Amino acid sequence: MAGSFSPKNALANEINNLIKDRIDLELKSALKKLKDELPDQNQTEEQFRPVFDSYFYFWWKINSKDWANKLREVIIKHRDIGHNWQFISSQIELLERYYDANVILIKCLRSDCFVTREVRNKIESELFLPIAEIEKRKEQK
């Protein structure tokens, strides 16, 4: 069926899409290496039916944790996201409240609110910056 979702191709296709973007060479290389570890996209599952129900499923069942950990390491190294922060419930609640407040603020900015373009641009440019970065910008002025 043309255009249907195929899990065995989804990961490789998404990595290909990322590699096409303007990213640094080191990240591009790390992503290509991870993609090369995936089963061959062009391999037909029928060749493996006598042994496995699905070659990709079998591969994923054995290798998924290791592969996902490698991907997480790449993401942490190159984008500093994906950390396992292990927040406690009170921290999670604070983060949820912070998120909700920002959603409200964004909705207000997208509405017909009465703030100058300069104020709107300042809010948008600093909305998700760490406090240290905001303080650094204040010092530079």
Q: How far does Cα 66 stand from its chain's mean position?
A: 18
Q: Rounded to whole angstroms, how far apart are CA atoms 27 and 20?
A: 12
CA terminus-to-terminus distance, the chain: 59
Select the more confidently predicted residue: 127 or 45. 127
User: Residue 2's pLDDT is what?
Assistant: 47
Is residue 86 within a helix (H) or strand (E), and if so which, with residue range?
A: none
User: Residue 51's pLDDT is what?
Assistant: 47
Q: What is the mean pLDDT of residues 68-75?
A: 94
- pLDDT tens digits along 14-58: 888 888 888 889 999 999 999 999 877 565 555 544 444 567 778
Confidence bin at 7 (pLDDT 50/70/90): low
3-state secondary structure 88-116: CHHHHHHHHHHHHHHHHHHHHHHCCCCCC
Q: What is the mean pLDDT of residues 66-78?
A: 94
At residue 81, the 3 state secondary structure works out as: coil
